[in-house]
Amino acid sequence: MLSKRREGEIQPGIKWGPFVFRIPFVHMRFALPEFLQGICVAGATGLALVPVMTASFGLSFEEAVTMAMFHTMLISAGWMIFGDPLAPGWLTPALPFIFAFVLGGGNTPEEQFQLMTALSLNFAALLIFLGITGLGAKLVAWVPNVLKGGIILGAAVAAFLRIFDQNDAASALNSTPIAAISALALCMFLTFSKPFQRQAAKMPILAKIAGLGLLPAFVVAGVVGLVTGEMQFNIQSGLLDVPTHATSMWEKASPLNIGWPSVTMFLNALPLAFITYILFFGDVVTGNEMIKNSQPMRPDEKLDVNGNRTHMATGIRNAAMAVVAPFFGTQGVLWTGIQVIVLKRWVTGRDKMDSIFDGISAYYVYGFPVLFIVLPIVTMLQPLLPIALAVTLLLTGFACATLALTTVTDSTERGAMVLTAIAFSLFDPWTGLLAGLATILVVVGPGVFTAKKEAADAADKATAEAAVAKDL
């Protein structure tokens, strides 16, 4: 029986410590529009890392799909087990850094998975510590905008380099160049083209097409791939044998089987964990501002926003992932596009979406058994997965580049930011961080690290509000 919420209160759930556990169909209703979009968009995107897992980490296709399923289950825990009113997603801007660090630092798949575990546990420890102490905001306030911008712009540069890497076995541009270019061009057009956005404001059909996310690009890529002969679809029947493939995946990836990372691995992974935290905190600020801006339109449901809880919940998810299915970057706090879609329908009224958790749960929970277990669907998507990864990196890179360029206005700081970004994108994390800090200290001066916390908070809030205004 569905639990009913009193006017102006928080959606019912089972409270445990600082968290709230909500059960589908008990504390959350079924939302058909979000379910249909979730199957198409969330599922295909959740499988986007499969080509990397198979090409560089020694997993079979079935093992990689099983790992992706575990990642989705852990992601869903963010709102279901821990109670955050946020649609969680990957730490996508960090992925190019992660690929460069892990693939460059590990000589074998076992070492690469150990590096993933080290990254995940470092990040988890940092999040839990900052969540318990409440020091997260102070840490980020100490980081100057020029360094933040350098990290974000470095992520953009690394993403572009990854897309066009001719030596990357998982690259869509190497295996299906015509289909990949068609998909990339279409996604850029639908997402960032100002002329298209102006036309979409006048024509609802165009707005609906843009709202389908990656789906139009997948359809075009599939058609082009078939016409050009770049793709061959080998659709299989039946269901994925999850227990068998989960066992073999754990044997290849889990530190309980291949051994724990060395102390050196943990030390080498520290700066990348810090860099990822800067990106994580930006998502936290953005997500909270989106909710604050939407809350006045829905006084019937109070959305409980708690940054410390978000830190601890994400930290626990990363720690669990480090042991079960180590692939760092898959356990973030916000998928901005999905949060926007859910909020847009939530603000229209209780009759359209009773609780925000109805929309979030429909996007994630109800669709993943279909996507990950039913082989006809999974194998149909298989040729498109390298393109899904390329599109994800392209959109992330472009968005990061545009955001980074707005973080500073001083021309000298912009120059230092560009040099810092190049250092982060080309060197290992320690070298990149030290080179970036040295550049900023020499070019901008040490005074940039002593700015008042209020100024840093105001800059972060302004950045988040600008992102929200753009999406809403």
Mean pLDDT of the chain: 84
Bridge partners of 14, per DSSP, are 21
**Parent domain of 182:** 177-230
186 and 280 inside one domain: no
Distance from the first to the final alpha carbon of the chain: 34
* Domain-ending residue, one of 186, 202, 230: 230
Bridge partners of 19, per DSSP, are 16
What confidence category does residue 171 fall into, taking pLDDT thresholds of 50, 70 and 90?
confident
- What's the pLDDT tens digit per position in 12-50? 999 998 899 988 888 888 777 677 766 766 666 778 888
188 and 275 inside one domain: no
Other CB atoms closer than 10 Å to residue 76's CB: what's the count?
19
Given this model, what pLDDT does residue 469 score? 44
Given this model, what pLDDT does residue 453 score? 47
Select from 120, 74, 91 the least CA-distant residue to 368.
74
- What's the pLDDT tens digit per position in 352-383? 888 889 888 877 766 566 678 888 888 888 88
41 and 181 inside one domain: no
Please check whether residue 276 lies inside any domain of the structure.
yes
- What's the pLDDT tens digit per position in 294-332? 899 999 999 988 888 999 999 999 999 999 999 999 999
195 and 343 inside one domain: no
Bridge partners of 20, per DSSP, are 15
430 and 358 inside one domain: yes
106 and 210 inside one domain: no
Instruction: Answer whether 34's CB lies under 8 Å from 341's CB.
Output: yes
- What's the pLDDT tens digit per position in 420-470? 989 888 888 888 888 888 988 888 888 877 754 445 455 455 445 444 444
211 and 69 inside one domain: no
Residue ranges of the alpha helices (H) in 176-260? Answer: 177-192, 194-202, 204-211, 215-228, 242-253, 255-258
- Distance in angstroms (rounded) separating the CA atoms of residues 266 and 117: 9
Please check whether residue 382 lies inside any domain of the structure.
yes
* Domain-ending residue, one of 165, 196, 230: 230
Please check whether residue 103 lies inside any domain of the structure.
yes
Instruction: Answer whether 97's CB lies under 8 Å from 272's CB.
Output: yes
80 pLDDT above the threshold of 50: yes
C-alpha to C-alpha distances, 171 to 332, 351, 457, nearest whole angstrom = 24, 45, 39
Instruction: Answer whether 432's CB lies under 8 Å from 271's CB.
Output: yes
- What's the pLDDT tens digit per position in 110-158? 999 999 999 999 999 999 999 888 887 777 777 888 888 888 888 888 8
Residue ranges of the alpha helices (H) in 332-384? Answer: 336-346, 356-364, 368-373, 375-381
